[in-house]
Amino acid sequence: MTLTRRQFAVGAAAGGGLLVAWYLWPRSYPSPLSPGPGEHVFGGWLTIARDGVVTVAVPQLEMGQGVNSLLAQVAAVELGADWRQIAVEPAPPSGIYGNLPLAAKWAGLWSSVPSLADEADDRLTENFARGEMFAATADGTALEAFELPIRNAAAAARTMLAMAAAERWDIDFEECEVADGFVTYGDERLSFGALVEDAASYDPPDPPPLRPQAASEGPIAGEAEAQTAFPRLDLPAKVDGSFLFACDIRLPGLVYASIRHGPLGQPELSRFDADAVKGMRGVVGVVRSKRYLAAVAESWWTAEQALKAMRPVFRGPPGFDSAAIEPALEAAFDTVEPEAIVSYGDPGELLAAPSHTSRYMIAPAVHASIETASATARFADGRLELWIAAQAPELTRRAAAKAIGIGARDVVLYPTAAGGSFDARLERLHAIEVAQIAQQIGRPVQLTWPRVQEFQSLPPRTPVLAELAAAFTPGTGGQIAAWRTRLAMPATTREFGARLFDNATPESAIANAAGQADPLACEGAVPPYAIANIAVEHLPVTLDLPTGRLRGNSAAYTAFCTESFLDELAEKAGQDPFLYRMALLGQAPRMADVLRRATRIGGWDGGRRGSSQGLAMVRMGSADGGGRIACVAEAALGAGGVQVTRLSAAVDIGRIVNIDLARQQIEGGLIFGLSQATGSSAAFKDGKPVPRSLRGLSLPVLADCPEVIVDFVASEAAPFDPGELGVAVAAPAIANALYSATGRRFRRLPLLSERQ
């Protein structure tokens, strides 16, 4: 393993001496907010203006999940503001906004001593996240990371407003009420705008007095429409088309670029016909790099036509072919020593002669967001401005700076919203490219990847071959004594970490991760059932295919394997899949509750042959906290392939902050999971993707979308982000429904890629 400068510094700091004292020393970070005329800053999270408008700084990427509205709601409730006076703005890079929970979870990707940084309150974690301005948007950590600091800032502001009002009324500030954008006492009432200037002169209380109840809304019946007092702030602009995404940026003198990358592998641009675009109307210039050719023109369409005319040719080793994937994964079971990720009890001896074994194959899956990679750059006087949707903005800023040989302090990144991401915008290749193109062209440039280039150049979700084995306790009618999951796949999360934190090329990231066990890639493989003896093992496989993160992440494939296999065990035991699962949930009342609810609203009929019903359930996060979902699917095979008619889900995500956003996330996740069950997969031939467009991915269209019923459980547990739950549960529920409809097990994703 090659140590980076960052890893060396962190590792050395943990080693002792003056460096450890320096690295672990507590630090403070000033507010990065720059208030406009008449505005005052509170705690680095809020500004309040004389007109009463409250603006909340949001350090997370808005990519359709509603995080702007969610965090603004947290502030509004704690502050006592009227929702109509709330605005949001992207937060600039600052140590204040470090995502500590995510830094702790990903400690193995940035630290050479992850055991010292795997908790959010570890000093090493805090100093990394704040010192590196690590505010990445991923793994549903927005509430976990930012709810409390936003509440603290809002509570302090509320108290200071009350102090200003109390001073005028000559009372104790504790006697004031703050609600709906006003501070009141009896018949007296003053608006936030009237008080803010005086309020800003007070010292913030330490600690700030939080309200007894954090922002929350109660669940409603599963078949009812969700209603919220806090509708999405971005909804009006999205309806009228005025909402700006990365591809909507317009600057004076802006020109447009399209691009061609070489096939997967390590090809180099060998030739192109530059004469073909000489005199072509609207063409501004051509930028040649080792691995790409870009055309720049007065319109994107003209740039694309110029590339077609130049017919770029890339030479190098043979491009990657998907036909190599499955043989390599299969061979791993005979040639690769399994690396233990989790081990409970003594599964080895019990599984010497398993009662049942099955293998499941998951093909690579692509992101296929509506907006392909797009960014705008302006380079002038040694300074780069970058308009981009970035899930890791500070790391993106640094990568762009390095690509054109300037310091990060000379790069200004303006965050834009993403037209979908599914974790694609954690990658930074298009940021690097647009910076290089703008530097060479000397004008503001907007680069937009064609769809086929996104398929080819954006790492897909990893392929996986999983072998699951179980042993029954003799004479119990199918009670599970031991369970083992073996996952043959690349160390995909380690690859991703090398690209993200070390700015590694895809090829060097693969080499860096080769042969290493990857616990994050195996996350979710421990079944959420009462089984005394469990083993989860990784068989690291090196492929010439860069792989990365996708919505649902590892749970999207581990849950498919676990819940499909559980159904097979229920059949072998001769039991109803619902009752079989219930018997394994004696120590998990929250799991049992969502399972019962799902079968009730889904009209569960025992999963008998011909019922076309299938069941699956997933737990994410810890056994004590986390989120839970159970789903009953109704599906069958028809002339057009898989036909899913109904998805009925019961969900427990702890305290629900915004019922409408939660429902959107579960519904959207279920449809995304449906897309993974029926398509979303791309193959590669000679390093080029097949298919080359959205049409070829077998994605569900509106007519394919089933009836979706979602029932939320009322809970006082810590809130859990619902964005991934529906993704993980849909595919196994659909696969199990197809078995009840056809009598055939589908053990591959996409489902109809089964060998005949």
Angle between helices 67-79 and 142-169 (to 10 degrees): 30
Judged by phi (left if over 0) then psi (alpha if -120 to 50, else beta), residue 696 lies in alpha
**DSSP class per residue in 552-607:** TTTHHHHHHHHHHHHHHHHHHHT--HHHHHHHT-TT-HHHHHHHHHHHHHTT--TT
**Which tokens is 536 given?**
């989860």
Locate all alpha helices (DSSP H) within 170-273, ordered by sequence: 192-199, 235-240
Q: If we measure between CA atoms, which residue out of 390, 393, 380 comes closest to residue 444?
A: 380
User: What confidence score (pLDDT) does residue 190 get?
Assistant: 98
pLDDT tens readout for residues 420-444: 999 999 999 999 999 999 999 999 9
Say which residues have a Cβ less than 8 Å from residue 302's Cβ, sequence separation at least 6. 256, 280, 281, 282, 283
User: What confidence score (pLDDT) does residue 9 get?
Assistant: 38
User: What confidence score (pLDDT) does residue 654 get?
Assistant: 97
Say which residues have a Cβ less than 8 Å from residue 570's Cβ, sequence separation at least 6. 478, 576, 577, 580, 581
User: What confidence score (pLDDT) does residue 66 get?
Assistant: 97
| Average pLDDT of span 172-178 | 97
Beta sheet of 613-620, edge-to-edge order: 613-620, 627-638, 641-652, 707-712
What's the helix, strand, coil split of the chain in %, to 5? Answer: 40, 20, 40
Say which residues have a Cβ less than 8 Å from residue 504's Cβ, sequence separation at least 6. 498, 512
User: What confidence score (pLDDT) does residue 2 get?
Assistant: 45
Sign of the torsion formed by the C-alpha atoms of 612, 630, 485 and 321 = positive
Residue 463's CB: how many other CB atoms inside 10 A? 26
Asked if pLDDT for residue 377 goes beyond 70, the answer is yes
Q: Which domains does the chain have, with CATH numbers?
A: 9-199 (3.30.365.10), 249-316+373-448 (3.30.365.10), 336-365+461-753 (3.30.365.10)
Query: What pTM was computed for the model?
Result: 0.95
Write b or e for each residue in 503-531: b if 16 or more Cβ atoms lie within 10 A of its Cβ, otherwise e: bbebeebbebbbebbbbbbbbbbbbbbeb
- Confidence band for 224, pLDDT divided at 50, 70 and 90: low
Give 596's strand partners: none
**Which tokens is 1 given?**
């393993």
pLDDT: is 227 or 654 the higher one?
A: 654
pLDDT tens readout for residues 182-197: 999 999 999 999 999 9
How many residues make up the chain in this entry? 756
As a whole number of angstroms, the distance between CA 148 and CA 160 comes to 18
Residue 153's CB: how many other CB atoms inside 10 A? 25
Tell me if 8 sits within 8 A of 17, measured CB to CB: no
Task: Give the Å distances, CA to CA, from 660 to 618, 722, 726.
Answer: 22, 12, 15
Tell me if 90 sits within 8 A of 127, measured CB to CB: no
| Average pLDDT of span 572-600 | 96
**Which tokens is 351 given?**
């599984």
Minimum mean pLDDT among 487-491, 535-539, 620-624: which range? 620-624
As a whole number of angstroms, the distance between CA 659 and CA 146 comes to 19
State whether residue 3 is helix, strand or coil. Answer: coil
As a whole number of angstroms, the distance between CA 376 and CA 553 comes to 29
As a whole number of angstroms, the distance between CA 557 and CA 551 comes to 11
User: What confidence score (pLDDT) does residue 608 get?
Assistant: 87
Residue 279's CB: how many other CB atoms inside 10 A? 7
Tell me if 266 sits within 8 A of 316, measured CB to CB: yes
- Confidence band for 10, pLDDT divided at 50, 70 and 90: very low
Asked if pLDDT for residue 378 goes beyond 70, the answer is yes
Task: Give the Å distances, CA to CA, from 306 to 21, 429, 443, 756.
Answer: 57, 22, 18, 44
User: What confidence score (pLDDT) does residue 550 get?
Assistant: 97
Tell me if 384 sits within 8 A of 438, measured CB to CB: yes
Asked if pLDDT for residue 234 goes beyond 50, the answer is yes
| Average pLDDT of span 468-490 | 96
Q: What number of CA atoms fall less than 13 Å from residue 498's CA on the CB side?
A: 22
Task: Reduce the secondary structure of 593-614 to three states and give it as a string.
Answer: HHHHHHHHHCCCCCCCCCCCEE
Are β-strands 627-638 and 641-652 bridged in parallel, bridged antiparallel, or unpaired?
antiparallel
- Confidence band for 139, pLDDT divided at 50, 70 and 90: very high
State whether residue 721 is helix, strand or coil. Answer: coil
Percent of the chain with pLDDT over 70: 95
Asked if pLDDT for residue 13 goes beyond 60, the answer is no
Judged by phi (left if over 0) then psi (alpha if -120 to 50, else beta), residue 625 lies in beta
Asked if pLDDT for residue 12 goes beyond 80, the answer is no
Minimum mean pLDDT among 25-39, 252-266, 300-314: which range? 25-39
Task: Give the Å distances, CA to CA, from 50 to 17, 55, 382.
Answer: 51, 12, 38
Asked if pLDDT for residue 329 goes beyond 50, the answer is yes
Tell me whether residue 174 is exposed, middle or buried, using C-beta atoms within 10 angstroms of its C-beta: 0 to 12, 13 to 18, 19 or more.
exposed
As a whole number of angstroms, the distance between CA 619 and CA 559 comes to 9
As a whole number of angstroms, the distance between CA 303 and CA 309 comes to 10
**Which tokens is 290 given?**
């080792």
Task: Give the Å distances, CA to CA, from 228 to 69, 83, 429.
Answer: 12, 11, 39
State whether residue 627 is helix, strand or coil. Answer: strand
Strands (E), 54-121: 54-58, 86-90
Maximum pairwise Cα distance, the chain: 83
Give 177's strand partners: 184
Tell me whether residue 683 is exposed, middle or buried, using C-beta atoms within 10 angstroms of its C-beta: 0 to 12, 13 to 18, 19 or more.
middle
Say which residues have a Cβ less than 8 Å from residue 448's Cβ, sequence separation at least 6. 247, 256, 257, 258, 300, 372, 373, 374
Residue 348's CB: how many other CB atoms inside 10 A? 12
**Which tokens is 572 given?**
């072998």
| Average pLDDT of span 481-502 | 98
User: What confidence score (pLDDT) does residue 600 get?
Assistant: 97
Element (H, E) at 539: strand 533-540
Bond preceding residue 114 cis, omega within 30 of 0: no
State CA 77 to chain mean position distance. Answer: 26
| Average pLDDT of span 505-518 | 96
